[in-house]
């Protein structure tokens, strides 16, 4: 029984031609084809490996995880010298700066502790100045073009004597706020309804593709609502705390944690509350307080970012798997083309034998068993029309029965 196409070639001796030369020719063809495919695959593997490694060292594809997070372990703390805070009173229509003859600010730091303690610390206010009460790193953000066309010294800042105070929220301890009280001069020709507060604060920018500095300094302007002659205007100015964890290790984990700040929300509402406490803390205040801006950290959640890069061993594993895939594909291509070539050679060879005549000669199958075309599943259907010749190897006689 003929089981494989390969055995077909070894089982028959074709009249007038040496079968060993026929077999050698096909093996040579397959060897050359395999060699060429191997060279192509090796070149593709080298090119792919180089491109993958070069792309890896660009660090352009980090894995980012973001969540609104809240826990009892993270102490959200912002030291005044590390964030930007500028403010001024302006005309609600023209947006021009208003001087102290119309209104001014008074500030204090209030610390609330969960043990029932409250600490009030008056803060001095002075004209803003880069290098004094504004860190030089913010110089590019507070120039004339980026501050509504206003000069830096038209804004007010917390005195540099208080640069180490902090806004904080510790879930186990307490929290703090910086309060800016707006004092309206009674002899002013203005009314509170014509006054707004312009606030410039830090609003950091997240750039996940900057490997060294994913948190960059930024700023944002906010205009308050107009104030009211009949009631106190309270403005809650909320900062969002940013926590950024970055794993920059090549092989092993190497994490660093960065912190930042961004604007979260600003809420305004009227209040009829008594302001005598303020007069007690600031005895020199003789004019009307028309508003208070409370700056504090968001207590409900903070932004938590986690960034990691692909490890080198993972990259090498991916490269290896792709190379193996290349060779598997090449092996299938070589097998398909080689067998196709062999089948076509057999057909051409059998077709060229004039001594074979289907009408005159009989077919003898080994062991005298007859097979229909449908039974010989291993032999391609294209060969079913050709003669199967058996060999008497002992007598070396070629007989067609």
Render 170-184 in DSSP notation, one character per residue: ETTTEEEEEEEEEEE
Tokens of 267: 């809420």
Please tell me the distance from the alpha carbon of residue 394 to that of residue 376, in angstroms, as a whole number.
Answer: 26
Q: What is the pLDDT of residue 55?
A: 79
pTM reported for the whole predicted model: 0.67
Q: Compute the chain's Rg from CA coordinates.
A: 43
Between helices 19-56 and 312-351, what is the axis angle to 10°? 160
- What the block records as the tokens of 249 is 């290790």
205-206 and 215-216: which strand pairing?
antiparallel
Q: Comparing 380 with 289, which gets the higher pLDDT?
A: 289
pLDDT of residue 236 exceeding 70, the answer is yes
Domain boundaries, the chain: 5-54+312-383, 65-308
pLDDT of 372 above 50: no
Residue 90 has pLDDT above 60, yes or no: yes
pLDDT, tens digit (0-9, with 9 covering 90-100), for 15-73: 344 444 444 455 565 677 677 877 888 888 888 888 888 877 777 778 888 998 888 88
pLDDT grade for 11, boundaries at 50, 70 and 90: very low
CA angle 164, 205, 69 (to 5 degrees): 75
Q: 3-state secondary structure string, 259-303?
A: EEEEEEEEEEEEECCCCHHHHHHCCCCCCEEEEEEEEEECCCCEE
Residue with tokens 């594993």, as numbered in its chain: 317
Q: What is the pLDDT of residues 187-234, one digit of tens each?
A: 677 889 999 999 999 999 999 988 889 999 888 889 999 998 888 899
Q: DSSP label at 3?
A: -
Residue 168 has what pLDDT? Answer: 95
162 pLDDT band, cuts 50/70/90, is very high
């Amino acid at each position: 029984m003929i089981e494989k196409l390969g055995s077909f070639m070894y089982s028959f001796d074709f009249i007038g031609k040496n079968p060993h030369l026929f077999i050698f020719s096909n093996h040579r063809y397959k060897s050359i084809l395999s060699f060429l495919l191997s060279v192509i695959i090796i070149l593709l593997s080298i090119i792919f490996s180089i491109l993958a490694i070069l792309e890896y060292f660009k660090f352009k594809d980090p894995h980012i995880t973001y969540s609104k997070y809240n826990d009892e372990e993270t102490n959200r703390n912002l030291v005044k010298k590390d964030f930007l805070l500028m403010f001024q009173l302006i005309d609600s229509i023209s947006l021009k700066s208003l001087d102290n003859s119309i209104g001014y600010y008074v500030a204090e730091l209030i610390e609330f502790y969960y043990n029932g303690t409250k600490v009030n610390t008056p803060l001095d206010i002075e004209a803003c100045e880069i290098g004094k009460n504004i860190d030089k790193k913010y110089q590019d953000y507070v120039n004339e073009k980026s501050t509504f066309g206003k000069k830096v010294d038209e804004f007010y800042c917390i005195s540099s004597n208080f640069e180490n105070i902090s806004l904080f929220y510790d879930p186990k301890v307490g929290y703090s706020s910086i309060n800016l009280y707006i004092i309206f001069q009674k002899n002013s020709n203005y009314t509170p309804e014509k006054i707004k507060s312009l606030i410039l604060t830090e609003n950091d920018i997240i750039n996940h593709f900057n490997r060294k500095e994913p948190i960059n300094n930024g700023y944002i302007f906010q205009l308050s609502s107009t104030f009211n002659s009949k009631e106190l205007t309270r403005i809650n100015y909320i900062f969002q705390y940013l926590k950024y964890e970055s794993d920059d290790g090549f092989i092993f984990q190497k994490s660093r944690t960065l912190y930042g700040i961004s604007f979260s929300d600003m809420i305004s509402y009227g209040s009829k509350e008594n302001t005598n406490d303020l007069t007690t803390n600031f005895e020199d205040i003789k004019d009307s307080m028309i508003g208070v801006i409370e700056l504090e950290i968001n207590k409900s959640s903070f932004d938590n970012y986690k960034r990691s890069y692909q490890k080198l061993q993972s990259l090498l594993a991916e490269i290896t798997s792709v190379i193996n895939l290349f060779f598997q594909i090449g092996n299938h291509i070589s097998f398909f083309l080689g067998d196709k070539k062999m089948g076509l050679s057999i057909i051409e060879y059998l077709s060229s034998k004039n001594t074979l005549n289907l009408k005159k000669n009989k077919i003898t199958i080994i062991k005298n068993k007859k097979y229909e075309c449908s039974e010989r599943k291993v032999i391609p259907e294209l060969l079913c029309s050709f003669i199967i010749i058996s060999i008497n190897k002992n007598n070396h006689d070629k007989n067609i029965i």
